[in-house]
Each structure stands twice: as C-alpha cells, then as structure tokens.
Structure 1
Amino acid sequence: MNPSTADLATLRRTLGTPELAWLLARLRTRLESTGQLTGTVTKPQASAGERAAVARLLNRPVRAGTSASVSLDTLDDVLRRSGLWPAGLAAAVVALTGTVVDPLERAGERDAWQAAANTLRRLGRPELSGWADRVIRTGALRRAAPTAAGAQALAAQLATVAGALPTSGESLGAFASRTVHDAHALDVHTPLGTLAVGLASALGSALASSPSAARSGEQTGGAATATDALRGPVPTSSPTDASADSARWRREAWHSVGVVLDELSSSVLVLGLPGGDTSPTARALAALAEAGQPVVLTLRQLLADELGTVPPVVFVCENPAVVAAAADALGATSAPLVCLNGQPGAAAIRLLERLVADGAALRFHGDFDWSGIGVARALAERVAWTPWRFSAADYSAACAERSALPALLVLPGVSAASVETPWDADLAEAMASVGLAVDEELVLAALLADLAL
C-alpha cells in the first residue's frame, strides 16, 4: 500500500507501538506460516499497558484479567471501516514489517534448499561427510548460491566433481571441462571453485591420513590407497583469504587428488634415461644421461614430448638420496632410475605409465616402513613392477646387519593382517614382527651395486 493513499505514520502510531509489539510479531508469524489472518491471538500474561493498548485498538473498555486477546477478524474490520488501512489487516502487517513470502512458495524454497543440502550429504563418499556438514552448517553453500535453485545446481556440480576424484595428472581446466563442461568453472573466484577446492582438500587429507585402504575402498589400517600415488603434499589447514599461503594451499589441495593447476607444478626426478633425438626433452635426456647428471622432468614435458629410447629395465626408488648417491658414485654408468620422492605426483605416474606402455620393466624399492609399503601398493595398482631388494628376506637381512637401529626408526604398531604385501606375503609379517623401519639410505651400498652397469 502506498503511504500516499493511507497514513503509514498513523498506522505505525496505532498498531506499531511498543505495547503492541507482541501482537504485530504474532501477526507476522501467522501470515508467514498460513498466509491468512483469522481467528484470535492471545497473550496470557499481558501487562496493564498491553491490555490498555488492545482496548484502544479495538475501541472497547479494558477487560478484567491478565490476558490480552484480539479477534483478527474484528481488527481487520476496524482497519477497513475506520479508513486507517483500507486494504485490511494483512496489508497493514506487510506495510509495517515488510514483504511476506507466500507460505507455499516459502515451503518450496525451503524444500529446495534441503534438497541441495541432501545432495552434498549423499555424495557416496563417507570421507566427505564432515566437509559437507561444514559447508551447510557455516552457510558457505548459501553464500556461494543465493537462491535455492542455484544451490541445487551447485550441489549437483560438486557431486560430479567428487565422483571424478581422484584423477591422474589432469590440469584443472581439463578436469573442469570434462566434469562440468566449463574450463573456468573451478577457477579460484567462482562459486564452484571456492567450494570444490575445500572438497579436494578434505578428500586428499582423508586419503592421506588413512593408514590403509582395502581394494574395495574400506578403511583397514596400515598402507596407503592406490590414489595416494596421485597426490603431492596434502594441505593440513585452511587458507587465509588473499594471503600468500592461500594460493599454496589451493595448489596442494588440488594436487592431493591428482589435479594440477598448471603443467609445471608437478615434476619427477630421473637419472640415466637414454633419451634420443625425437624431441627437445629426449635430446635433453640424452645429453644429461651422457653427463651422468640427474634431470627433473615436468608434467608439461611428459605430456608434450617423446622420451626417446625406452630401456628394457628401469629402477624406481622412493627417495632423492638414492638418485644423488647414484649420480655421485656411478654417473653415466648408472642404470636408468626414477625417483618417486615419497608419494608420487602426477608427473611420476605419467612417466612410469609411458615407460611401461613402451615396454620397460619396472623394479621398485622403497623404505621398509608402512608409508613405503603404501607407495608400493599404490604403484602396483597403476603400473606393473617387480620388487628390487624389497622382500621379506631383504628386510630381514637389512635388520640383521644393523643390530642397534636408532629408536627413531621403530615402526608404529600395526597388525600384519591389515597390511597386504602381495609381491611378498611374508614381508608385512616380518615388518610387524621386528617392528623396525629401514630407510633406503641405510641400504644404499646394495642398491648402488645393482645400479652399476
């Protein structure tokens, strides 16, 4: 109602007084819930001032007792007949308190928001339940999508993203294009990108913190899952907006589930790959292999260039110290060696997959600890390999040679039954029984002897 056709100030002095605040609040609530103002409202313990205000409003004497009752039909009639607000009581409440959404429309909006929340809660990924609850509880979903329809669409996109993770060395733009059909949908300042990076961080952290996962994906304890092989450093805290750490956190969050923000941020360390003359990368490999120098290959190079000659056997280690020692001791006479540098990133996986596809046989050695076992299991689910001094006999020999290993190397207690070592079923039992970790650095002499061509 336009105040020019009815006196809003007078209405406010009549119905909007402090003594009638309870009545106006009840009217607003009833209008929101039912869309109608009929029947009677009562305040059981009304003050004398509130009872007197009701009497003045309805032009009747103050009634005895402590309650104040108002017939809404009567009040509507008073407003219309007096000309105070000819449009009636409901219009008067709107004029004083603001627009009221139709109850059916509001119920539909509420149901739509609930549907969006349910989509996040039912992603089929138990490890993301905490993330989904936080997104809903903190209002992040509402901030990202101001309407229920937008929230539903956003939740559906997040479900698609969750279902496609982890991936293997895919750029963020390519991943976004493949999953939600928009190469920029996961960019840093988009609503989807803002929420999806948290999803990636939660998923990556859950996969990293789990000591083991069976092939079915159920948590069992002891070794890492196959998806660990696709991750880099796992972010452990949320970023602060517009900080230097924010960009780093975002990069690590995506990297933890196999998505790279650019093709230069993922790399792998190699020594002795023979290379060739079929591409710039192949020529660089050839020159550095001849010089006995290690080389770092980026994912960009591995996606774009030929590798040249692929050797029949490639050794794979977990730690850069092995590469450094081989370069120092053997130089150009070292057998081809690839370093995973702990949990390998997208570049390492890409390189090993290409080597195997072109006929190379991989021989793997890692630390004799539960993390090393996890790397080995993860690698086995991506590429075929045979153990390189990575058996129960090798472990027992390494322990026997070092009767006084530092206390720092004591393994955390884990049941051998929960840690599968399919390349040697006795290895997990031996490690659980002895309870000592043996890092690659402790067996360098034996590894270098194998690498000597």
Structure 2
Amino acid sequence: MTPINAADLDILRRTLGTPDLAWLLARMRTRLESTGQLTGTVTKPQSSAGERAAVARLLNRPVRAGTSASVSLDTLDDVLRRSGTWPAGLAAAVVALTGTVVDPVERAGERDAWQAAANTLRRLGRPELSGWADRVIRTGALRRAAPTAAAAQALAAQLATVAAALPTSGESLGGFAARTVHDAHALDAHTQLGALAVGLASALGAALAGASSAASSPTAPSNAAPSSTAPSSAAPSNAAPSNAAPSSAAPSNSAPTDASAESARWRREAWQSVGVVLDELSSSVLVLGLPGGVESPTARALAALGDAGQPVVLTLRQLLADGIGIVPSVVFVCENPAVVAAAADALGPDSAPLVCLNGQPGAAAILLLEALVAGGATLRFHGDFDWSGIGVARALGERVAWTPWRFAAADYSAACAELSGLPPLLVLPGVSAASVETPWDADLAEAMASVALAVDEELMLPGLLADLAR
C-alpha cells in the first residue's frame, strides 16, 4: 500500500471532510461497507443552507434551489480524479478519511460467526441458564471477552462444555478445568473464560437451589431411619466418595464489580454452589469421636485423637485422598461448634461420634456424611430452632438421609416451656409455616410459627450431651 502523503490528506480533509459534508461522508462509508461500491446518487432531503453550499463547492456548481442536497457519486469520483485532489478515486478517499472498510462478504461472514457464538450460548440445553446467556450477549460481555468472532465461538464452545459438566461433586477448580477444557488454569479468575464461567456457575447454582426449595418434599424422610444403602453417587464403604457434591446456599446471581474480599467470596460461593471448590483446604469439617482405623493417615489420626477425646478438623483434601476407617452405626450431626466443644469437655473419649456442620453443609461435610451413610451409618441431626436452622436441615436432607435428634415439634415445645428469656423468632420475608416445610416432622414448622420463639442449639446442651454419653 502506497503511504498517504500528509499534505495530500490535509487537502482531502478540507475538500471532503468538512462539518457541512459530514452527512455525505457518513452515507458513503455506510454504502461502501454494505455494497463495496460508491455509485449512484446520495440525497439528504432536509439539508441546511451550509450543507447545500458545501455540495455546490465540492462539485463546482451553483447552489440549487430547494431544501435537499444531492450528490452524484460517479460525478464526485470523476471530480476527485480529474482535479488531482485524490487520484485514486472516491472509494479510496473515503477509506483515507474514515479507515479501512471490511469487504461486505467478509463482514457478513463475521456477523454470522458472532451470531453462531451467541447461538451456542442460547442453546446450551439448560433452560435455567437462558437468562444468564441473554445477559452475556445483551451486555456485550461476550464481545469484550473475545477479540474476534472466531475467538468468541471457541469461548462459547468452552462455556457449553463447562455447563454440560455441572453440577459436579466436590471437585477442585483446577481439576474440573483440566477435565473439561484441558487446561488446569483456564477457569482462573484472571482469564476471560473464568470470568464468564463463574457467572454461569452462579446462575446455575441459584437455579438448582431454587428448584430444591420449590420441591414439595426434600429427600430427608419422616422419622423413619435412613436406608444404609448408599446413594447412587456414593463411593464404596469406608472411602470418601469421589463425587460428593457440596450443599450450600447458592450465591446471589449478580457478581460484585470490584476485586474486594466480597468479590472473592462471591466467586468461591458461586463455584461451590455447583460442586466445584476453589481449593481442597478451605473446606473442612469438625468431628469428634469417629473411631478411625489403620488404613490411611487420616484414619490413624482419627483413631489417635478420638482416644484422646480431642476434636478433629478434616479438610476436603484429606477426605478426597483417604478412607475414614471404621464407620459407626450411628453418627450424631449438629449445627454449631459449641456442641462439639461441650462434648469434648464433658465426655472426651466417651462421646458418641459427632459431626459439626458449622452452618450450611459444605463440601467437606457432605463428603464425609455421604461416606458414613455409604458405610451403613444412620445420621441423627440437631440444629437451631430458627428458620436458618430449618434451612440447614433441609439442605442436609437434599444430600443425605437423616433422622431428627431432639429436633421435632415436641422437643421445640418442651424447650420453649422450660427455658425463659428466649429471643423472638426472626421473621424473614415470605417465610412462614406455609412456606417452610419440615418433612421430618410436619408439626414443627407450624409450632415454630405459632410460638415464634428461637431456641439456639447451645441452650439444649444438657439433653444433647446426655444422648452423646456412651
């Protein structure tokens, strides 16, 4: 390409690039993009006097009467060539003033390629992700993430692969990325794929949580003992199953816009809501009295600390790598660490096996409890008598079968009658006995809504410790 002479370009700007001819230049650019040619006539029906005068000077003709301004592009091309203003002609002049024009066929192909990328996201086969896909396309997030249509198609295909593999079960982010898109770091926070995929995970996690809440009854049975048969996703007895998914409250479907701790927490919760953990050490579970064994380092540690009456914190990494040893026939499950501390203080090595969820059950807790159920253990759960505690119980019931441990309507009523100074039950928007079911005891939600008092788990320690004494 011949370099453009600065002086020639300046003359061209003063000839064709004036403010009064801006409409003409814009129309020619559009026509060149759409057809690849500049022929025929361009007309502006309602033009100013200045615009009509500029056209007259450009074509070296008198100003015509009327309000419209018309320019024959063939005539203008001839004027530029003959005058020497721009010997390469009109099309080359427009390119010099406005930039390179993509060939119309190439432009159409680019448009089709972008549309194909968008269609890939719209056709993920996951209706619950349609809103997320529309937002990514509508807000231009896909275009910002990919420099070209081809890159966008590749990115959309990777997102489709990620969506098809979710939810997973207790899998590390690096391992999940390596398995799905063949790059352990492809879903890291700083990558374009990672930035879009975490939004996908958040949307899917929220949809799955909503579907679970809307279900007429969770999998926790009414007071019947759970079957010792492991769920279909469980691993063999005494080994932590490789596909146990975490169960936690789904994150908000709106990503924070900063890089603060809040943003990092949202990202962690978004991935965890679909069974992916950012690392295998941040998720842990507190236990006391698990017998352990000799088959693995973790089992031996459980045995030694159990004999000493000391609580143990097990990480997801340990549970993924090691067997847990002997599986007791009954394992008690509590919501709050204070119960474990009290049991360790009062009972020490004589405490029955106890697992603490410490709020919503996370990846490590679910992995351990599924391993225990797979080994034949019956789980007995107790939590706070408030709506959050009911939520924990329901979330647990969606993953493993359990029976209530002093966690029925009669227990709640007795506690309210015996204890004084109980705080009022926090009223949450839209939460009532009609909207929150307690399938292990249908009367519990109604009793809580009627009495409207909260009973923290710590207030029931005497009875709980009596049950744990063995």
Fold in common (TM above 0.5): yes
Matches within 5 A, 1:129-144: 131-132=132-133, 134-144=135-145
* Residue aligning to 1:2: 2
What is the CA distance between 1:444 and its match in structure 2? 1.5
Partner of 1:260: 277
Assess, with a 3 A threshold, how the Cα gap between structure 1 residues 55 and 71 changes in structure 2: closer, same or farther.
same
1:310 aligns with one of 327, 336, 340: 327
Stretch deviating more after TM superposition (371-380 or 183-192): 371-380
The CA distance in 1 between the partners of 2:354 and 2:419, in whole Å, is 26
Aligned partner (choices 303, 312, 326) of residue 295 of structure 1: 312
Q: CA deviation at 1:409?
A: 4.8
Does the aligned pair in 1 maintain the 2:247–2:396 contact within 8 Å? Answer: no
State the match for 1:240 in structure 2: 258
User: Do the aligned partners of residues 383 and 45 (structure 1) sit closer, same or farther apart at CA in structure 2, a change above 3 Å counting?
Assistant: closer
- Who is 2:466 aligned against? 449
Q: Does structure 2 retain, via aligned residues, the 8 Å contact 1:231–1:257?
A: no
Alignment correspondent of 1:371: 388
TM-score (norm 2): 0.83
Residue of structure 2 in register with 1:23 after alignment: 24
Amino acid at match of 1:162: A
Letter in 2 for 1:254: W
| Range with bigger deviation, 83-92 or 389-398 | 83-92
Task: Find the counterpart in structure 2 of residue 224 from structure 1.
Answer: none
SS in 2 for 1:212: helix
Distance in 1 of aligned mates of 2:341 and 2:436: 31
Describe the shift of the 1:124–1:390 C-alpha distance in structure 2 as closer, same or farther (beyond 3 A): farther
Q: Letter of the aligned partner of 1:446 in structure 2?
A: G
Give the structure 2 partner of residue 222 of structure 1.
none
1:327-355 CA-to-partner distances (Å, cap 9, x unmatched) read 12111111000001111111111111111
* Partners of 2:358 and 2:62 in 1: CA distance: 88
Distance 1:369 1:163 in 2: 37
CA contact (8 A) 1:208 1:234 kept: no
The gaps in structure 2 that reach 5 residues or longer are 219-243
> In the alignment, residue 15 of structure 1 is paired with which amino acid?
L
- In the alignment, the residues of structure 1 paired with residue 94 and residue 430 of structure 2 have an alpha-carbon distance, to the nearest angstrom, of 68
List runs of 5+ in structure 1 lacking aligned partners.
218-226
Structure 1 distance, partners of 2:155, 2:310, is: 49
Specify the alignment match of 2:294 in structure 1: 277
Pairing 1:304-453 to 2, within 5 Å after superposition: 304-402=321-419, 404-407=421-424, 409=426, 414-453=431-470
The answer as to 2:58 corresponding to 1:52 is no
How has the CA–CA distance of structure 1 residues 333 and 213 changed in structure 2, closer, same or farther, with 3 Å as cutoff? same
How far apart are 1:228 and its partner, in Å?
9.7
Give the whole-Å Cα distance in 2 for the aligned partners of 1:114 and 1:267: 44
Q: C-alpha distance in 2, partners of 1:409/1:70?
A: 75
Q: Which moved more, 1:6-15 or 1:100-109?
A: 6-15
Indicate yes or no: 2:96 matched with 1:78: no
Q: Which secondary structure does the structure 1 equivalent of 2:144 belong to?
A: helix
Of residues 183-192 and 99-108 in structure 1, the stretch that sits farther from structure 2 once superposed is 99-108
Change (3 A) 1:129 1:35: same
2: distance between equivalents of 1:192 and 1:266?
A: 24
> How many residues are paired up?
443
Distance 1:48 1:228, change over 3 A: same
State the Cα distance separating 1:446 from its structure 2 match: 1.2
Deviates most, 36-45 or 286-295: 36-45
